[in-house]
Amino acid sequence: MPIVLSIAVSIVLLLGVEKIRTQVRDSFLQAVHGTDLIVGARGGDVQLMLYAVFHLGSATHNMGWDSAKAIAAKENIAWSVPVSLGDSHRGHPVVATTPSFFSDYRVRRDKPLIFAAGRKFNDLFEVVIGSEVAKKQGYTAGKKIVLSHGSSGDNLPEHSDKPFVVSGVLSATGTPVDRSLYISLEAMEAIHLDWQGGAVMPGLNITSSQVTKFNLEPKSITALLVGLKKRTRVFALQREVNAWKHEPLMAIIPGVVIDQIWYLAGTGEQALLLISLLVTLASLAGLISVMLAGLGERRRELAILRSAGASLGDIVLLLLFEGIWLTVIGVLGGSFVFQLLLTCLGPTLLDSYGIMLELSLPGAGEWILLGCVGVAGVLSSLVPAIHAYRMSLADGLSVST
């Protein structure tokens, strides 16, 4: 029983690491599902990806709004969503965009964003929040909140003279959308009308009722997310943007950049998988030890079977079957416990860490791992079986003194 439990625990660990590894990578890809290009100021492609989609790090430069409109107007563009970043709220990034973001942006197998409560922003000082923001801060539709100037650091200055009202709460997606707040591009301009150099301009106070008198069209944005009518044209548009004459721009293909990011994180990923495999091998080594130790107590039983007509092959098959049976019970038990844990802890992982682990049949990688464990179990069972084969009939029938 302890060996079966040990094998089961190792299977839970092995499947858990593989599931998290594949699902986290899938979450990266699902965060940009349907986005064919990301356009921004020329710089590092990984940096642009991390900032524009995952809101990590900072952008060195913005791209002009005129360039964004010119690219969005091109014939092969199905949709385009501008994003502008820089502000935050209690550690959560604030993303300025257009209302089309909620209909055009896709996550998780081409699914649109769904509102758990409320609606998208319509008025200037309305904000839509992600599920993680709503849960951590306890916000609901109708709540008034104040945004902070800047995205990192403590004691950030606030736009307290221009509070926002939560108009809607998005359903959980397992992507960066969950931890973000969304306002209009015009709202981002409005709250910065009387700011310069990261501080309020002395002697100037433009109230929320006065901002509509100003031109709130943005001069620049952080990036432009683009979806194409024909994806076969993605490389042609990428070359066109990279050679943009009006300002230095770059266009990146999200899937290619995510592969680069995953390659950088591959060492840690493989290390976790290796640790799980070593735990599994330790469990199988325990199986060998227990069965070998048991042979000493079963010598007389095996000798009686031999004297009753059982051949050496029968004895070997008996011990081999016992080892395989213990391995199968451990694998099945571990797989069942893993699925049970996935069902119980899946919602908690999504809410707390933004990791969406979906209950599903084992994938190709998991089947391969389970198959390897099964083969290793068979090979482990051969060791005590061969040892029993070498035992003579007299070993079990002789009386020890």
Global pTM exceeds 0.95: no
Q: Are 351 and 132 in contact (CB under 8 A)?
A: yes
Entry field: residues in the chain: 401
User: Which pLDDT tens digit goes with each residue over 327-373?
Assistant: 788 888 888 888 888 777 766 666 655 566 666 667 677 777 777 77
298 phi/psi in degrees, rounded to 5: -105, 10
Question: Which amino acid is located at 51 in the chain?
Answer: Y
pLDDT band at residue 185, thresholds of 50, 70 and 90? very high
3-class SS shares of the chain: helix, strand, coil, % to 5: 50, 15, 30
| The token pair that represents 203 in the structure block | 């002697």
Q: Give the whole-number percent of the chain exceeding pLDDT 70.
A: 80
Residues 323-336: tens digit of each pLDDT: 778 778 888 888 88
Task: Supply the pLDDT for residue 401.
Answer: 47
- Give the CA distances from residue 289 to residues 260, 293, 322, 387, 397, in Å, rounded to whole numbers and listed in that order: 44, 6, 14, 12, 24
Interatomic CA distance for residues 183 and 188, integer angstroms? 7
Could you give the CA distance from residue 339 to residue 212 in angstroms, rounded to a whole number? 55
| Token output for 212 | 């509509």
Domain boundaries, the chain: 2-23+266-397, 37-252
Cα 385 from chain centroid? 45
Coil, strand or helix: which one is 154?
coil
Give the amino acid at 236: A
What is the C-alpha end-to-end distance of the chain, expressed in Å?
Answer: 32
Measure the CA–CA gap between 20 and 211, rounded to whole angstroms. 47
